[in-house]
């Protein structure tokens, strides 16, 4: 479930702030993991490219 800003506000108004925070936090962790993995892959590709062009 992707928690939108409006849904988070509604949960907070319904006194379910903890639930809103937990859902939001899980989404952020998932997104951060995806971004970090992508950055690591890019770094690996760049290192390989630098090795290749430095031999030229």
Looking at residue 6, its pLDDT comes to 79
The answer to whether 17 and 11 are in contact (CB under 8 A) is: yes
Q: Is the pLDDT of residue 49 over 80?
A: yes
Looking at residue 39, its pLDDT comes to 98
d(C-alpha 44, C-alpha 48), whole Å: 6
d(C-alpha 49, C-alpha 10), whole Å: 49
3-state secondary structure of 16: coil
**Cα 2–3–8 angle (5° rounding)?**
175
3-state secondary structure of 55: coil
Looking at residue 52, its pLDDT comes to 93
| 0.95 exceeded by pTM | no
């Amino acid at each position: 479930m992707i928690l939108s800003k409006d849904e988070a506000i509604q949960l907070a108004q319904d006194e379910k702030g903890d639930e809103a925070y937990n859902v939001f936090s899980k989404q952020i962790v998932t997104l951060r993991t995806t971004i970090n993995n992508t950055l690591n892959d890019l770094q690996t590709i760049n290192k390989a490219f630098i090795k290749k062009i430095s031999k030229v």
